[in-house]
Amino acid sequence: MLVSDYILKFLEKKKVKKVFLITGGAITFVVDAFSRNKKIKYIDCGHEQGSAMMADAYSRLGPNFSATMVTSGPGATNLLTGIACSWFDSIPGIHFCGQVNMNELSGAVKSTKKVRQVGFQETDIVSMAKPITKFAYRIKTEKEIPYILDKAYDISTSGRPGPVLIDIPMNFQRKLINLKKLKKYKSQKKINNKNLKDKINTTYNLFKKSKRPVIILGGGIEISKSRHLLDKLFSKYKVPYVTTWSGKDCCYHGQKNYIGTIGVYGSRAANFTVQNSDLILNIGSRLDTRITGGNPSSFGRNAKIVSVDIDKYELNKKRGLNNFLKINFDVKDFLNQFILKNQYVCDVSWLKKCNNWRINYPEVLKSWRKQSKLVNPYYFVETLSEVLNRKDIIIADDGAHLTWAVQAFKIKKGQRFFSAFGNSPMGYALPASIGASIAKNRQRIICIDGDGSLQINIQELHTLSKNNLPIKIFILNNNGYGIIKQFQELYLSKRFEASGKGVSNPDYKKISKAFNINYTKIKNHQNLKQKLKKILKSNTAELVDVAIKPDQKIIPKLQFGKPIEDLSPLLSRKEFNENMIVKKIKSDKKIINVN
Amino acid sequence: MLVSDYILKFLEKKKVKKVFLITGGAITFVVDAFSRNKKIKYIDCGHEQGSAMMADAYSRLGPNFSATMVTSGPGATNLLTGIACSWFDSIPGIHFCGQVNMNELSGAVKSTKKVRQVGFQETDIVSMAKPITKFAYRIKTEKEIPYILDKAYDISTSGRPGPVLIDIPMNFQRKLINLKKLKKYKSQKKINNKNLKDKINTTYNLFKKSKRPVIILGGGIEISKSRHLLDKLFSKYKVPYVTTWSGKDCCYHGQKNYIGTIGVYGSRAANFTVQNSDLILNIGSRLDTRITGGNPSSFGRNAKIVSVDIDKYELNKKRGLNNFLKINFDVKDFLNQFILKNQYVCDVSWLKKCNNWRINYPEVLKSWRKQSKLVNPYYFVETLSEVLNRKDIIIADDGAHLTWAVQAFKIKKGQRFFSAFGNSPMGYALPASIGASIAKNRQRIICIDGDGSLQINIQELHTLSKNNLPIKIFILNNNGYGIIKQFQELYLSKRFEASGKGVSNPDYKKISKAFNINYTKIKNHQNLKQKLKKILKSNTAELVDVAIKPDQKIIPKLQFGKPIEDLSPLLSRKEFNENMIVKKIKSDKKIINVN
């Protein structure tokens, strides 16, 4: 069997149905195998960055994982930003890079080791990809290909998942391999649930002692494929729960005891809940700076934090945050046992308090709905979420519009809502929406984008168009980089260098026309719901240009140096203090519990 | 002085007039310094890849070098393909990446060393950029910034130039520095011309003994800023000379004794010259595989090769090619002394033979000019070159249209003609043309692009448009990836997977309209010259869509396994043998000189 055919057979076995690629000199032989395989197809993309982002989204939604194929040099380096999305968000995926022939590699002979380049378009992609992959490897003989593929797959999908990259010199791509004579790979997956029971018991006992427990649901719920265990969790543990951004779509809006999302752009209600709690069960969140605020020691400062994470390095971080109990297990294994315990109901007054916060501090204010000129993004996102259905998949890009979307979107049960949270590149949402639609059998996808972000991978509008995908792109258009402008207004006396000044947008109406995509402009709140319903009904791609105030703010937002319960605009100290059961004195290193 | 102001002052001193950037959270403080500096401006780009490529071209043309500024994470990784262009082609340039605060870096404390990401959008760009930069460094204290900037500049511009990258955690960007108390950097530049004289004498003596010498001019002529020495070289050494692609614009079409470009897509005339020569003086070419063919031992197989290269690793490569004499000096230093020797005139019959090859094997065949349907790219490029003037700068992208352009373009004295030859990414020519126009005071630039390539960085059409640059984009439109199609036709039985099949173009007429760029379609040869003159006359950007046959070939082209004198379509053996003064027998390891 030819190596190239073997690679496709391998992907086929792993249930990969689509490969995202751009061909090129050094990958041509691998791509040729598609002519002999009817079960797996390729999507030709506009830029390899698009391919990697499509693959990332495909992997987030697909039955299994995804692949890209690209040529050496620029083809490979163009993948890196997309691969980083998968790396930081723990998404599996395999990236095949063509490489020059073995004898044309620098270092193939000793004398070429320090030469910048020997073969045409030769680049050391393995070294470049190492910091953002679980495994990056250059094939050394065609015989090891089956072994390396199995190994790469195993590494990518086991433990904390992540992307892998395989670099294949051209000369191996067209070789024959005899499958009978090859070394077999043995999975390194360890299932070791020793001590898990003890830790679960300890956790359960902490709950029993706790007056104000809270559960945080992070991206680990989805990554470990544990969504289906949540109903049982919530029915067994009657406690308030909150989510991170990555965990937002684990809960739906209005779900009983769901308080909201936490963090520097979190909801006041959810942040009050966490900051007043005495026991935090953190399931699958790495509790990064965007969650804890700049001073991690102020996060959950009066709580015992129990963290479940498959990545021991995340648990062992010592930067102020103290995990009282570290449960270094797969979230699914943890949940499967944790939900077997007897029902636990927390103090009713605590539950009520948290739910009151949710009611008292809604994400979208009434006054915003009444804005007469231009569109308020919070009202817009809220309205959009109201007209979507349970099967919808919503993908947001990054910056201000992502923040507005996360803050105001009201998830319905069954919906998926994500972005490339950890890497947060501009330009993710469009290719990701394409990958998502393809993963879901050409389903409608809701793409929430920014006027700056959309430009980054605008070439993929052609990929969208030529594949006839019903993707609805909503540009929250504030004519510039809103999140930077807000920062400059706060800290740099409104010097809008390169965020407002020097920045402009193409005419998105003309752009839509150029790519054969329907265009609608929304200038104000009039008949918003009807307009959205009409747009959503169509079977085709739509680009909706939503005019936002150029100085529209993110509200609320944490300012430098504040703990996350104290979001800006600041509440009056009276109101703030009334919300704080646990008061802090002077610094976050001196805390007293006054309740 | 603020660190951010110091950085701009430093660039100002180095004569950088424009910085190519996209702002973002982690670089905002540095970008803010533009509000306080009137001598240096920024260009806001559509994608950081565009920024890096604009900077690359700016550096190739500018009085000095260039800079980019980008935010951490995706901002930084988006630069890499552009940085690689500078790395492989020895172009200096400095890339500033914002980074998360020091205390938010993985590894800031021991326990976070193996965590994937601590700060938001944290990415280890220094490790990722190392394989493609001369120096990549993360700032460790604000005090070292002046020292590191001097060091980075020195490294970037000395020896074999190349790009450098400086990663600056946010917390340092807003610090004050006291310039008086800082460590000063001492340049490591060594000027050591010991032995140069001996080597020049040896070279000169080799010329005196040679019957069939040839000079190869490579990219090193431009990189070492030695163009002005060439007239003197040619008047002192009456020998045939040829160029590599990177050296093409060192000579003009019809220049006395200039035979053409060499290599796998070289001219028959130039390849015959090199392959029949008994002495090759190679000035500033690394003689890579695209020059030597797949079997370097067959290159100049009967010649003594004298190579001048500042990079000793290039000289010491042992992959079949044997340098008889290695001159590890700066090309300029070499030329300055080499042109002081007495005049040397080679055997007249040899000169005549080479010039006859040039006449007998023109790049553009008469029959191609008569093509009645669609446009022949050779004829097109030839005609375009005829109507351009001596100040024009021509930038080609990569793939088939680059090859057509290099083969058929007739350089006029003073013109610049380049691409990102070593890295050869699709999508280079458009941003590079923008960078070039900006470097040259908004000069007209001729951008020769492909229908596939242009899509890669199509977002920069907006940058072009908003800056009102008179860039003339010529798309040699063959509806697919021509160079891959030709490969598939030869070796993969015309299975056009992902080159013709699955690939399509957006409607470039509509695209032009969307970005406010004039559009012209050229469908055949009728009135071509007049049409081109009209397009060139305008003061604005123009997009010219040139319809090429979808199966248009690159002619000539080397097939696998052949030595470079034997380009395809193969000449009759009779004709071939008549051209070979030096005959080879059996293999390229057994060679006899029959003349």
- pLDDT-above-90 percentage for chain B: 91
Cis-peptide, bond into residue B569, ω within 30° of zero: yes
Q: Is the dihedral of CA B354, B358, B360, B363 positive or negative?
A: positive
Ramachandran sector of residue A192 (left: φ over 0; alpha: ψ -120 to 50; beta: rest) = beta
Measured between CB atoms, does A502 come within 8 Å of chain B?
yes
pLDDT at position A584 is 59
The DSSP annotation for A504-556 comes to ----HHHHHHHTT-EEEEE-SSTTHHHHHHHHHHSSS-EEEEEEB-TTPPPSS
The CATH fold assigned to A366-547 is Rossmann fold (3.40.50)
Residues of B in contact with A505 (CB under 8 A): 462
Interchain pair A455, B466: CB under 8 A: no
pLDDT at position A595 is 29
Q: Which residue has the tokens 């500078």?
A: B86
Tell me the pLDDT of chain B averaged across its residues: 95
CA angle B108, B109, B112 (to 5 degrees): 90
| Cβ(B435)–Cβ(B66) below 8 Å | yes
User: String of b and e for B549-568 (b: at least 16 CB within 10 Å)?
Assistant: eeebbbbbbbbeebbbbbbe
Cβ neighbour number for residue A502 with a 10 Å cutoff: 19
pLDDT tens sequence across A259-274: 999 999 999 999 999 9
Give the integer Cα–Cα distance in Å for A292 and B245. 55
Mean pLDDT per 10-residue interval, chain A, length 595 residues: 97 96 97 97 98 98 91 98 98 98 92 94 97 98 96 96 98 93 82 87 98 98 97 98 98 97 97 98 95 93 96 93 94 97 97 98 95 97 98 96 97 98 97 98 97 97 98 96 92 94 95 98 98 96 97 94 95 96 58 33
User: String of b and e for A245-282 (b: at least 16 CB within 10 Å)?
Assistant: bbbbbbbebeeebbbbbbbbbbbbbbbbbbbbbbbbbb
pLDDT tens sequence across A364-398: 999 999 999 999 999 999 999 999 999 999 999 99
CB-nearest to A318 from B78, B111, B455 is B111
The DSSP annotation for B415-436 comes to -EEE--TTT--TT-HHHHHHHH
Interchain pair A514, B499: CB under 8 A: no
Task: Enumerate helices (H) and strands (E) in chain B, giving the number of each.
Answer: 26, 20
* Phi, psi (rounded to 5 degrees) for A290: -70, -15
* Distance from the A265 Cα atom to the nearest Cα atom in chain B, whole angstroms: 13
Give the integer Cα–Cα distance in Å for B446 and B432. 11
Interchain pair B506, A88: CB under 8 A: no
Give the integer Cα–Cα distance in Å for B310 and A7. 43
Instruction: State the distance between the two ends of chain B, measured CA to CA, in whole angstroms.
Output: 72
Beta bridge partners of B448: B396, B474
A90 to chain B: nearest residue by CA? B116
| Cβ(B65)–Cβ(B156) below 8 Å | yes
| Cβ(A33)–Cβ(A81) below 8 Å | no
pLDDT at position A239 is 98
* Phi, psi (rounded to 5 degrees) for A482: -60, -40
pLDDT at position B591 is 36
Give the integer Cα–Cα distance in Å for B206 and B306. 9
B29 to chain A: nearest residue by CA? A492
Closest alpha carbon to B197 in B61, B96, B341 = B341
Measured between CB atoms, does B265 come within 8 Å of chain A?
no
Report the side by side order of strands in the sheet with B93-99.
Answer: B41-44, B18-21, B67-70, B93-99, B163-169, B135-138
Give the integer Cα–Cα distance in Å for B481 and B500. 7
Give the integer Cα–Cα distance in Å for A575 and B317. 74
Q: Is the dihedral of CA B373, B376, B377, B380 positive or negative?
A: negative
Q: Which residue has the tokens 């063959």?
A: B478
Q: Which residue has the tokens 């060393």?
A: B113
Residues of B in contact with A288 (CB under 8 A): 117-120
Measured between CB atoms, does B127 come within 8 Å of chain A?
yes
Interchain pair B88, A317: CB under 8 A: no
Helix (H, G, I), strand (E, B) or coil at A450: strand
Residues of A in contact with B498 (CB under 8 A): 21-23, 31, 34, 42, 44
Is the pLDDT confidence value at B584 over 70? no
Q: Identify the burial level of B205 via C-beta atoms within 10 angstroms of its C-beta, where 0-12 means exposed, 13-18 middle and 19 or more buried.
A: exposed
CB-nearest to B80 from A31, A80, A510 is A80
Residues of A in contact with B115 (CB under 8 A): 286, 311, 313-314, 317
* Phi, psi (rounded to 5 degrees) for A351: -60, -40
Interchain pair B456, A459: CB under 8 A: yes
Give the integer Cα–Cα distance in Å for A287 and A316. 12
Interchain pair B32, A507: CB under 8 A: no
CB-nearest to A21 from B289, B498, B504 is B498
B78 to chain A: nearest residue by CA? A81
| Cβ(A355)–Cβ(A259) below 8 Å | yes
Give the integer Cα–Cα distance in Å for B177 and B282. 48
Give the integer Cα–Cα distance in Å for B233 and B338. 8
**In this structure, CATH architecture of domain A3-181:** 3-Layer(aba) Sandwich (3.40)
Residues of B in contact with A84 (CB under 8 A): 73-74, 77, 123
* Distance from the B387 Cα atom to the nearest Cα atom in chain A, whole angstroms: 31
Is the pLDDT confidence value at B589 over 60? no
Structure tokens at A144: 């090891």
B456 to chain A: nearest residue by CA? A47
What radius of gyration, in Å, describes the C-alpha atoms of chain B?
A: 25
Q: Is the dihedral of CA B417, B420, B425, B431 positive or negative?
A: negative
| Cβ(A420)–Cβ(A258) below 8 Å | no
Domain with CATH 3.40.50.1220 in chain A: 196-360
CATH label, A196-360, candidates 3.40.50.1220, 3.40.50.970, 3.40.920.10, 1.10.10.1150: 3.40.50.1220
Is the pLDDT confidence value at B41 over 70? yes
pLDDT at position A590 is 37
Structure tokens at B539: 């003061």
Residues of B in contact with A317 (CB under 8 A): 109, 111-112, 115, 118
Helix (H) or strand (E) holding B581: none
Structure tokens at B383: 């005609």
Give the integer Cα–Cα distance in Å for B511 and B519. 9
Task: Calculate helix-pair angle for B400-408, B482-491, nearest 10 degrees.
Answer: 100
This complex has an ipTM of 0.96
pLDDT band at B588 (very low <50, low <70, confident <90, very high): low
Pairing of strands A445-450, A416-418: unpaired
Give the integer Cα–Cα distance in Å for A198 and B427. 57
Task: Calculate helix-pair angle for A3-13, A145-157, nearest 10 degrees.
Answer: 30
Interchain pair A130, B127: CB under 8 A: yes
Interchain pair B23, A499: CB under 8 A: yes
Measured between CB atoms, does B40 come within 8 Å of chain A?
no
Is the pLDDT confidence value at B254 over 60? yes
| Cβ(A565)–Cβ(A275) below 8 Å | yes
pLDDT at position A556 is 96
Helices assigned H by DSSP within A284-399? 289-292, 312-315, 331-338, 348-360, 366-369, 377-387
pLDDT at position B183 is 85
Pairing of strands B163-169, B135-138: parallel
Q: What is the mean pLDDT of residues B100-112?
A: 93
pLDDT tens sequence across B537-553: 999 999 999 999 999 99
Closest alpha carbon to B454 in B386, B402, B411 = B402
The DSSP annotation for B400-415 comes to HHHHHHHHH--PPTT-
pLDDT at position B458 is 98
CA A92 to chain centre: 12
Interchain pair A504, B462: CB under 8 A: yes
Pairing of strands A582-584, A591-593: antiparallel
Using alpha carbons, list the distances in angstroms from residue B230 to A84, B250, B279, B332, B334. 47, 8, 19, 10, 12
Q: Is the dihedral of CA B211, B217, B220, B224 positive or negative?
A: positive
Give the integer Cα–Cα distance in Å for B93 and B166. 11
Give the integer Cα–Cα distance in Å for B558 and A65. 40
Structure tokens at A342: 């007897």
Measured between CB atoms, does A80 come within 8 Å of chain B?
yes
Interchain pair B319, A514: CB under 8 A: no
Residues of A in contact with B80 (CB under 8 A): 77, 80, 128
CA angle A265, A266, A272 (to 5 degrees): 130
User: String of b and e for B125-162 (b: at least 16 CB within 10 Å)?
Assistant: bbebbbbbbbbbbbbeebbbbbebbbbbbbbbbbbbbb
CB contacts under 8 A, A 519-548 vs B, are: none
pLDDT tens sequence across B363-414: 999 999 999 999 999 999 999 999 999 999 999 999 999 999 999 999 999 9
Residue B552: what residue type? Q
Domain with CATH 3.40.50.970 in chain B: 3-181, 366-547
CB-nearest to B32 from A77, A492, A507 is A492
CB contacts under 8 A, A 82-101 vs B, are: 84, 87-88
Q: Which residue has the tokens 């569109």?
A: A375
Interchain pair A487, B456: CB under 8 A: no
